Structure 1
Amino acid sequence: MPFLEKDTDKMFLIGAGGFLGAVCRFLICELVDAELGVLSVNVLGSFMLGMIMYDTEYLGFIGPKGKIAFGTGFMGAFTTFSTFAVQSFGMTFLPAMGNISLNLLLTLTGVFLGRSVIKSISSRRI
């Protein structure tokens, strides 16, 4: 499998980032109530991912390896769509709709705010 040989570094970076992201998610979810913990990591992760994504475009502090380790590995394991979906499915209708609405609204807002922070930093550098 030649593709595995050339992508070993990327797989290690994703795995190391994923390990750290999963541990951080576990710790945050242990500190707060289950639904609030999942909402917290999803919103925080969306904000940080927004910063990582737009750093590449506006600042360039994070290189390709950092983007792989933190954007794909860490954020992929830190945020959790599947747990959010299972939690929502297990709720009665109104709490589920509230959970779904909050997750969608706040995670999209998180990405927007992350982007705004990076754009603000980049405009100050000029």
Structure 2
Amino acid sequence: MDIDPDIDLREAPDPPPPVDAALLGAISLGGGLGALARYGVGLLLPTPPDRFPWGTFAINVVGCFLIGVLMVLVTDVWSAHRLARPFLGVGILGGFTTFSTYAVEVHRLLHPGTVGVAFAYLAGTVVGALAAVTAGVRLTRAVVGR
């Protein structure tokens, strides 16, 4: 009995693509550096229980702004090395920004007495991140004349 008549189970699946060690290395190194920077900001701006997490908020908004700047630079301005965007964008800025921590912090704030803070943080981060990436793109394009 055929599971799907469009699939020939007698054919071997396509082999996985080869691993690009340089790409994985660039992303890993950048991610480690970004995570260290995030940790440093977390130490400078600790979040007391039941309070607005300003440290994580700042990390995500600043990171999104820098992603907007980076995308303009690597797509419109530089003929960047093939590992520049993975190292800087996926690695450093991906390791720096922390939307998983954001989700955990929203969840921790969802109890009587702090629901308003949770929703302010939930909405404020989304609005702030989108505004920051837009500002980063527009500001960079204005500065470089594009």
TM-score by length of 1: 0.89
Matches within 5 A, 1:77-116: 77-91=95-109, 92-116=114-138
**Alpha-carbon offset, residue 2 of structure 1:** 6.0
**8 Å CA contact retained: 1:47, 1:111:** yes
Q: 1:27 maps to what in 2?
A: 40
Which letter maps to 1:44?
Answer: V
Which segments of structure 1 move beyond 2 Å, counting only runs of 4 or more?
Answer: 61-64
Q: 1:64 maps to what in 2?
A: 82
**Alpha-carbon offset, residue 122 of structure 1:** 2.3
Deviations 1:54-88 (A, max 9, x none): 22332126443111101001111100011000101
Name the SS for the 2:33 alignment partner.
helix
**Alpha-carbon offset, residue 18 of structure 1:** 0.4
2:72 maps to 1:54: yes
Count matched residues. Answer: 122
Q: Rate the CA distance shift 1:2–1:119 in 2: closer, same or farther, 3 A.
A: closer
**Alpha-carbon offset, residue 108 of structure 1:** 0.7
Q: 1:12 maps to what in 2?
A: 25
- Aligned-residue identity in percent: 28
Deviations 1:79-105 (A, max 9, x none): 001100010111132111000111011
Q: Highest CA radius of gyration, 1 or 2?
A: 2
Name the SS for the 1:12 alignment partner.
helix
Q: 1:43 maps to what in 2?
A: 61
Q: Distance in 2 between matches of 1:99 and 1:61?
A: 38
Q: Distance in 1 between matches of 2:89 and 2:37?
A: 15
Name the SS for the 2:83 alignment partner.
helix
**8 Å CA contact retained: 1:13, 1:68:** yes
Q: Distance in 2 between matches of 1:38 and 1:100?
A: 12
**8 Å CA contact retained: 1:43, 1:106:** yes
Deviations 1:5-43 (A, max 9, x none): xx1000010011001000000000110133111001100
Structure 1 stretches lacking a partner, 5+ long: none
Instruction: Provide the aligned C-alpha RMSD in A.
Output: 1.6
